[in-house]
Structure 1
Amino acid sequence: MPFPAPSTWINGRAEQSHIDDGASLRDPNTGAELASSRSSSSEQIDRAVAAASGAHADGRWSSLGAERRAPLLCALADGLDARADEIARLDALNSGVPISVTRLFASSNGDTVRSAADRALALGDAEAVPADGRDVRIHRVPWGPAALLMPWNAPSAMAVKKLGFALAAGASAVMKPSPASPWSALLVAEAAAEAGLPEGVVNLVLGGAEAGAQLVEDRRIAAISMTGATPTGRAIAAAAAPRFTRLRLELGSNNPAIVLPDADIEATARALVAGATKLSGQWCEAPRRVLAASAVHDRLVEALRTELATLRIGSSLDDTTTLGPVAFEGRRRELTAQRDDLAARGATIVEVGTTPDEGFFFPPTLAVGDDIEPDSEIFGPLLAVEAFDAVEDAVRRANSGQVGLAGYVFSDDIDAASSLGAALVAGEVKVNGTSVLDMSPHSAQSFFGSSGIGGHGDAELLEFFVGKRIVGTDAPGLPL
């Protein structure tokens, strides 16, 4: 199939990205080169930000109000629906995630935008507040142009989520996908232009760290939403600090799972393997470090081994695949180094299944040992398993290291498990499950510790892009 041209989108129009990276995008299933890579030039990035800034300054989008923005957002949603099959295939090639999963993401992208529009309509642009009969209103005002930096593990889902809620809030935007996974974001920009959004409201630039640095350091950018690695997040926070730019950063976390003695071991193993291998193991909230009660530790390790053996390892484009390759060679090298480091600390390495000789496959792996906390975030199908004797020790270890996004507790005693979960340093703790989706339509979670700034939840995401401004008649006769 043809691949999208590596274009830069400015003012609703595509143009060739000026910089030849000298690199290429490769098929994670075979390692074969698929297309050459290009980046936006510094001048193109400057013009993209200028376009978004101009769109914000004259109010061509924000002044429409939620009601007049909604039909255009629905047109964008329809355009995403029409591109769902192509987006699913491109995401499977850019990320290594099995196409059965990328189809789920791609088929829901349109509904993500519709949901954002519905939330904005429900909130409105302003609301009157009680003020003894005086006209006093709280207005929801976009901060200004938003920089949206997307990861490579769920390319279209993250692009659409960030863009859809920014647009619903009335913000203009400059998107920058990961250089490893640019293709579906290009289709999102194309759908936005086709939907008839005003010029300058949606822009897209391509590139790596240099492009990202120029974007987040630009004084015209008022808000930054980024999902990615912790070192990148620290660099963005440092760049944004002098201007107090509004930040939402979802970063790394080695999410712990505590398995209590009364847990259903077979069901626990199924849930842990499912969680650790979702998105080819490249899921921010996947369980990474299992702390199992000593009484059930050995049984759990064997159950995990058995469950891993049921995975169907294969091409991300194969409908029957349940575990695909990781996204690129550098990701596989880092996983290999982490596995070897855990082995050097005394962990027993258990690899399960056979991987193809070609491509960027990493075998589903257990690292079984004592107190083997990883030094950095594991991001692939590698699961550390340790034993504990006292629950207090399990909680202490679960709350150490790079944590803060998610946690898991497994037990037949739901009340005890929930109580234990409330003690974990994490924004979301699930009992007896590892699903990707939220537990409730009202879910909300903060990014604790070094896992980021801000949090998850549709309401919180919509609010991120706006500030509140109160306007009204002052109260007479106040003493001060």
Structure 2
Amino acid sequence: MTYPALRTWIGGIAEESPDSDGTWLHDPNTGEALVPSASSSLSQVGRAVAAAQEAHDDRRWRGLSPESRAERLGVLADWLDERVEDIARLDALNSGVPIAVTQLFAGANGATLRDAGRRAAAVGDVRDLPAEQGGVRLHRVPWGPTALILPWNAPSAMAVKKTAFALAAGATVILKPSSFSPWSAQLLLEGVRAAGIPDGVVGLVQGSGGIGRALVADDRVRAISMTGSTPTGRAIAATASSRFARLQLELGSNNAAIVRADADLESTARAVADGVLKLSGQWCEAPRRVLIDRARRDEFARMLSAEFERRTIGSSLDQATEVGPVAFAARRDELTAQRDRLARAGAEVLRVSRVPAHGWFFEPTVAVLDGPGLAEEVFGPMILVGGYDDEDEAMRLANTGQVGLAGYVFGADEEAAAAVGTRLVAGEVKVNGTSVLDMSPDSAQSFFGASGLGGHGDDDVLDFFVGKQIVGTDRPGLPL
């Protein structure tokens, strides 16, 4: 297979990424080194921001009507639709997520672009406001150059979603993909060029943390949308705070799943296992802790472990695989260290015994231990099962530690389960299910607690990229 060259895109031109940290991109299924990593230079970061600033200032993109921008996004959507299989394969190699899942993500990228364009056209850039003197208008104005900091677990889906809504809103952007998953962003930039989106509107820089730090520290970057780890989010917030750059940060959360007394354990175990193992355990809203009546704790833990045993674990490139490897060696090593810490704390560790001997595979694990668990997020195919005596104790435990993103409640009485869900500190709470997708086309979700700043939901994402400006004739004869 041919892998995209790790270019830096500035002003519509692909340049060499001249620097290297000496690392390689690997096949997570085997551990085989594939190609050396490449990094943009600090000079290139500055020039990419300058190009985005120039494109913002001369209004070459935001000066188009929302309908015209939507038309260009539709051309880009068509271009990506023709490359679904290539994108899916690259994402499966970059993330360890099974190709059956990355095909779904890649297949939805075009729809994401079209939807963003439709939403922006429906809202419009300018609308008249009621005023007795007339001539008062609300303008939606992009903040300025916007940095899009991308995660490694869903490479193309996150690159396309952030880019689609930013461009639909009229913003100029600089993408910075994870150094572990840079390939699908390269294809996206090729598509941007092919779709006739003006030069300078979309840039791309490559590299690890140092490049990201340089990008978000640039005073010309007026907004930052980032999905990733909590430590990285805190660093970005600290860097951007002095200039009051706008922030949207989706960070980590140890999401709790509460199993009520009337829940059917068999179907609950199946649903929780589905949630834990999606994306090879690597998605930010996965259930990370189960809280269940203490008398049923051990029974449920074994049912959950049996569900793990039933799943097909193998290469992320195999269509039959349900659970692939984690994305890179350090991710596997951190999960192993977390499992060992839980064992030292007294947890009974139940883990799948049959995993491939090579590559970055981590045995799907159930750790049985009462209490809140680890302080930091667990990001992989591992879950804690603990007991509670009553639901007040369950709520106290569920809302302890790093929380705020998602939550789950299981029970036969769905109205009662939903009432319990309103007590969780979480932006989204699902009853009797663990799907990745939103429950409603109008879903909106804020990031509570330490899980970030802002939120997601398509209207919220579109709004993030613009400020609101009122321009009009002042009211005559006002007393003050």
Bucket of the pairwise TM-score, normalised by the shorter protein: over 0.9
Where in structure 2 are the equivalents of 1:279-318 lying within 5 Å? 279-318=279-318
Of 125-134 and 455-464, more deviation after overlay is shown by: 125-134
**2:16 corresponds to which residue?**
16
Contact 1:224–1:248 (Cα < 8 Å) also in 2? yes
TM-score norm. by structure 1 comes to: 0.99
Structure 1 residue 198: Cα displacement: 0.4
Q: Percent sequence identity over matched residues?
A: 61
Where in structure 2 are the equivalents of 1:34-433 lying within 5 Å? 34-433=34-433
Q: Give 2:387's aligned amino acid.
A: A
CA offsets, 1:196-221, max 9 Å, x none?
11010010000111000100000110
Specify the SS of the correspondent of 1:39: coil
- Count how many residue pairs are aligned between Structure 1 and Structure 2: 480
Contact 2:298–2:368 (Cα < 8 Å) also in 1? no
Structure 1 residue 65: Cα displacement: 1.9
Q: Give 1:357's aligned amino acid.
A: A
Contact 1:261–1:295 (Cα < 8 Å) also in 2? no
Specify the SS of the correspondent of 1:203: strand
Structure 1 residue 265: Cα displacement: 0.6
Of 288-297 and 267-276, more deviation after overlay is shown by: 288-297
Separation of aligned partners in 2, 1:138 and 1:398: 42
Structure 1 residue 134: Cα displacement: 1.1
Structure 1 residue 135: Cα displacement: 1.4
Separation of aligned partners in 2, 1:279 and 1:68: 36
Q: Give 1:321's aligned amino acid.
A: T
Contact 1:335–1:379 (Cα < 8 Å) also in 2? yes
Q: Give 2:96's aligned amino acid.
A: G
CA offsets, 1:219-246, max 9 Å, x none?
1101000000000000000000000000
CA offsets, 1:378-433, max 9 Å, x none?
00000000000110010011000000000000011111111110000000000000
Separation of aligned partners in 2, 1:436 and 1:67: 30
Separation of aligned partners in 2, 1:477 and 1:298: 75
Q: Give 1:297's aligned amino acid.
A: R
Contact 1:87–1:184 (Cα < 8 Å) also in 2? yes
Contact 1:347–1:372 (Cα < 8 Å) also in 2? no
Separation of aligned partners in 1, 2:86 and 2:189: 14
Separation of aligned partners in 2, 1:160 and 1:379: 23
Separation of aligned partners in 2, 1:224 and 1:453: 11
Q: Give 1:226's aligned amino acid.
A: M
Q: Give 1:167's aligned amino acid.
A: L
Contact 2:372–2:397 (Cα < 8 Å) also in 1? no
Structure 1 residue 370: Cα displacement: 1.6
Specify the SS of the correspondent of 2:193: helix
Q: Give 1:274's aligned amino acid.
A: D
Q: Give 1:204's aligned amino acid.
A: L
TM-score norm. by structure 2 comes to: 0.99
CA offsets, 1:438-473, max 9 Å, x none?
000000010001100000100000000000001111
Separation of aligned partners in 2, 1:251 and 1:264: 32
Q: Give 1:103's aligned amino acid.
A: Q
Specify the SS of the correspondent of 1:318: coil
Contact 1:345–1:372 (Cα < 8 Å) also in 2? no
Contact 1:259–1:293 (Cα < 8 Å) also in 2? yes
CA offsets, 1:227-280, max 9 Å, x none?
000000000000000000000000000000000110011110011000001000
Separation of aligned partners in 1, 2:395 and 2:478: 52
Q: Give 1:427's aligned amino acid.
A: G
Separation of aligned partners in 2, 1:160 and 1:374: 33
Separation of aligned partners in 1, 2:102 and 2:343: 33
Contact 1:261–1:296 (Cα < 8 Å) also in 2? no
Separation of aligned partners in 2, 1:403 and 1:47: 38
Specify the SS of the correspondent of 1:107: helix
CA offsets, 1:184-204, max 9 Å, x none?
010001100110110100100
Separation of aligned partners in 2, 1:2 and 1:169: 34
Structure 1 residue 372: Cα displacement: 4.8
Separation of aligned partners in 2, 1:117 and 1:144: 19
Specify the SS of the correspondent of 1:290: strand
CA offsets, 1:88-134, max 9 Å, x none?
00000000000000000001001100000000000011111111251
Contact 2:372–2:401 (Cα < 8 Å) also in 1? no
Separation of aligned partners in 1, 2:457 and 2:82: 26
Q: Give 1:431's aligned amino acid.
A: V
Specify the SS of the correspondent of 1:207: coil
Contact 2:10–2:200 (Cα < 8 Å) also in 1? yes
Specify the SS of the correspondent of 2:359: coil
Separation of aligned partners in 2, 1:24 and 1:153: 18
Specify the SS of the correspondent of 2:47: helix
Specify the SS of the correspondent of 1:249: strand
Structure 1 residue 20: Cα displacement: 2.2
Specify the SS of the correspondent of 2:371: coil
Specify the SS of the correspondent of 1:248: strand
Write out the 4+ residue segments of structure 1 that deviate beyond 4 Å after TM superposition: none
Contact 1:342–1:372 (Cα < 8 Å) also in 2? no
Specify the SS of the correspondent of 1:221: coil
Separation of aligned partners in 2, 1:124 and 1:237: 30
Separation of aligned partners in 1, 2:478 and 2:372: 63
Q: Give 1:185's aligned amino acid.
A: A
**1:5 corresponds to which residue?**
5
Separation of aligned partners in 2, 1:26 and 1:106: 21
**1:28 corresponds to which residue?**
28
Separation of aligned partners in 2, 1:68 and 1:155: 27
Separation of aligned partners in 1, 2:78 and 2:372: 48
Contact 1:65–1:170 (Cα < 8 Å) also in 2? no
Contact 1:136–1:473 (Cα < 8 Å) also in 2? yes
Separation of aligned partners in 1, 2:370 and 2:215: 44
